[in-house]
């Protein structure tokens, strides 16, 4: 039913950080994420009367799979609400595990939208709400990961890094590792575009974020849980904000080096290691690789975000005179020997003499940008580099 997942040493990461780095492979659960632990723990403890009413959950995808899996095993009906932007791969997996016993509804753009719809459904239908993170039984189920770590290592690790969305995973780890004053340093890795726990810690109370980036869909919530906030406030030693571009670079590194297909939220813990740097040296460090439900169709965007984050991909609006040889001038006089045009399209001819083009350039190294800009100036090209703050940029990434 639930797998005791491997604790896999990573030689690459250990060498990189001068530490003993191990990956807790929750992506190898049957549902490819840790969420099965909390969902099953909650659902298996329902009374016969509660089970007969059926269960409802809201999820960005992984919790829904855990609920569907548990309900199918226990013979309980489930209704699942997920955001309309949930990757198709996760929707199909929910239907696969739940079979005829699960009904899926896609609502809104975020987990919070789906949660509101799920709670209304519970109110009308009288079903039991299975919360993905803000429930003691769900938190306790996630805490079994920490027990396995200690049992396998023979002692608590020096550092544990885990993803933070609603806070269920890290609260479960904290509840076990910090019991009795445990010395393990517990670090939360939160997507920079959805800093709900960071905002709550700064405010001293749970707050609601009006706008979030949903790219790291498994950890993109507008509001952390009330229970999880209290646990994190007392027991989590540090919360790091991880840029989405860094997550993408880590996803690619894990695939190319370890052969691990992680999802964005699953890679958060590993992506946070750079920010810890020298603090890791000589220590035993566990990164909870929390999930591997990644749709292959997302990889072009992952590659794009990674290159932009590394400073290797840039976009320009270039005005070309409408006469022969202008593109050759750009290629010969502006581009360096390792620079590559990866996108080129005319956007609009402003008049008969000039026309604007969108030009995407990929560099071998981010240090090549300054020489490229200097050559553009020397060639007297009328061009403007697009900023990530511009609306057009959002459509390119």
Q: pLDDT tens-digit profile of 243-252?
A: 999 999 999 9
First to last CA, the chain: 40
DSSP state of 255: I
Q: What are phi and psi of 172, to 5 degrees?
A: -65, -45
Sign of torsion over alpha carbons 261, 263, 264, 266: negative
**Number of domains comprising the chain:** 3
Residue 320 in 3-state DSSP? Answer: strand
> What integer is the mean pLDDT of 268-291?
97
**170 shares a domain with 229:** yes
Residue 350 has pLDDT above 60, yes or no: no
Which CATH number characterizes residue 350's domain?
3.30.70.260
Domain boundaries, position 122: 35-129
**Annotated catalytic residue, options 33, 171, 290, 306:** 290
Asked if 113 and 88 count as a contact pair (C-beta separation under 8 A), the reply is no
CA gap 362, 338 in Å, rounded: 9
Q: Do 298 and 316 fall into the same domain?
A: no
Mean pLDDT value of segment 129-155: 97
Question: What is d(CA 265, CA 191) in angstroms, rounded to the nearest whole number?
Answer: 8
In terms of C-beta distances under 8 Å and separation of at least 24 residues, what long-range contacts does 298-303 make, across chains too? 298/87, 301/397, 302/248, 302/251, 302/252, 302/264, 303/248, 303/252
Would residue 2 count as lying in a domain?
A: no
Does the pLDDT value for residue 87 go beyond 90?
no
Task: Answer yes or no: 99 catalytic.
Answer: no
Residue 100, pLDDT > 70, answer yes
| Arithmetic mean of pLDDT, 347-359 | 73
- pLDDT for res 352: 64
Note whether 265 and 365 are same-domain residues. Answer: no
C-beta of residue 41 within 8 angstroms of C-beta of residue 138? yes
CB 30 within 8 A of CB 68: no
In whole angstroms, give the CA distance from residue 267 to residue 219: 11
The per-residue pLDDT for 244 is 96
User: What average pLDDT score do residues 366-383 get?
Assistant: 91
What is the pLDDT, as a whole number, of residue 364? Answer: 95
User: At 358, which helix (H) or strand (E)?
Assistant: strand 354-362
The rounded mean pLDDT for the chain is 93
User: Which of 76-80, 178-182, 286-290 bottoms out in mean pLDDT, i.e. has the lowest?
Assistant: 178-182
CA pair distance 157, 56, nearest whole angstrom? 36
pLDDT attached to residue 265: 97
Q: Are residues 112 and 183 in the same domain?
A: no
Residues 106 and 173 in one domain: no
Q: Which of 10, 24, 35, 171 is catalytic?
A: 35
pLDDT in tens, 299-338: 999 999 999 999 999 999 988 887 777 788 888 999 999 9
- In this structure, the answer to whether residues 75 and 156 fall within a common structural domain is no
For residues 196 and 76, state if they share a domain.
no
If asked whether residues 124 and 144 sit together in one domain, one would say no
290 catalytically annotated? yes
Pairing of strands 55-58, 128-129: parallel
Domain-embedded: residue 1: no
Long-range contacts from 42-45, C-beta under 8 angstroms, 24+ separation: 42/130, 42/131, 42/135, 42/137, 42/138, 42/141, 43/67, 43/70, 43/71, 43/74, 43/76, 43/130, 44/70, 44/74, 45/137
Residue 245 maps to which CATH number? 3.40.50.1100
pTM above 0.85, yes or no: yes
């Amino acid at each position: 039913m639930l797998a005791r997942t491997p604790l896999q040493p990573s030689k690459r990461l250990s060498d990189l950080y001068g530490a003993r780095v191990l990956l807790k492979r929750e992506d190898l659960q049957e549902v490819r994420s840790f969420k099965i632990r909390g969902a099953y723990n909650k659902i298996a403890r329902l009374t016969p009367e509660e089970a007969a009413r059926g269960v409802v959950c809201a999820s960005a995808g992984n919790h829904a799979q855990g609920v569907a899996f548990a309900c199918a095993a226990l013979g309980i009906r489930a209704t699942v609400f997920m955001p309309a932007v949930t990757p198709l791969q996760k929707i199909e997996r929910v239907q696969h595990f739940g079979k005829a016993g699960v009904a899926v509804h896609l609502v809104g753009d975020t987990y919070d939208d789906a949660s509101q719809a799920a709670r209304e459904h519970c109110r009308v239908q009288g079903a039991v709400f299975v919360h993905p993170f803000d429930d003691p039984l769900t938190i306790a189920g996630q805490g079994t990961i920490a027990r396995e770590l200690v049992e396998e290592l023979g002692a608590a690790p020096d550092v544990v890094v885990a993803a933070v969305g609603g806070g269920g995973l890290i609260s479960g780890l904290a509840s076990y590792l910090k019991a009795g004053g445990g010395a393990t340093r517990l670090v939360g890795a939160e997507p920079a575009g959805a800093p709900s726990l960071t905002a709550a810690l700064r405010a001293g109370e749970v707050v609601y974020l009006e706008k979030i980036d949903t790219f790291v869909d498994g950890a993109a919530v507008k509001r952390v849980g009330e229970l999880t906030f209290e646990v994190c406030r007392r027991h989590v030693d540090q919360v790091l904000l991880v840029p989405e571009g860094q997550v993408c670079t880590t996803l690619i590194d894990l695939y190319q080096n370890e052969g691990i297909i992680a999802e964005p939220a699953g890679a958060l813990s590993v992506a946070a290691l750079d920010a810890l740097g020298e603090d890791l040296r000589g220590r035993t460090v566990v990164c909870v690789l929390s999930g591997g439900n990644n749709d292959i169709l997302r990889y072009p965007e992952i590659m794009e975000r990674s290159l932009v984050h590394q400073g290797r991909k840039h976009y320009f609006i270039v005005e070309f005179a409408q006469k022969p040889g202008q593109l050759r001038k750009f290629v010969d006089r502006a581009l360096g020997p390792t620079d590559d045009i990866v996108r080129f399209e005319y956007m609009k001819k402003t008049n008969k003499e000039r026309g604007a083009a969108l030009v995407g350039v990929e560099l071998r190294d981010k240090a090549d940008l300054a020489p490229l800009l200097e050559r553009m100036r020397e060639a007297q090209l009328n061009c403007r580099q697009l900023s990530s703050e511009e609306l057009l940029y959002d459509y390119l990434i």
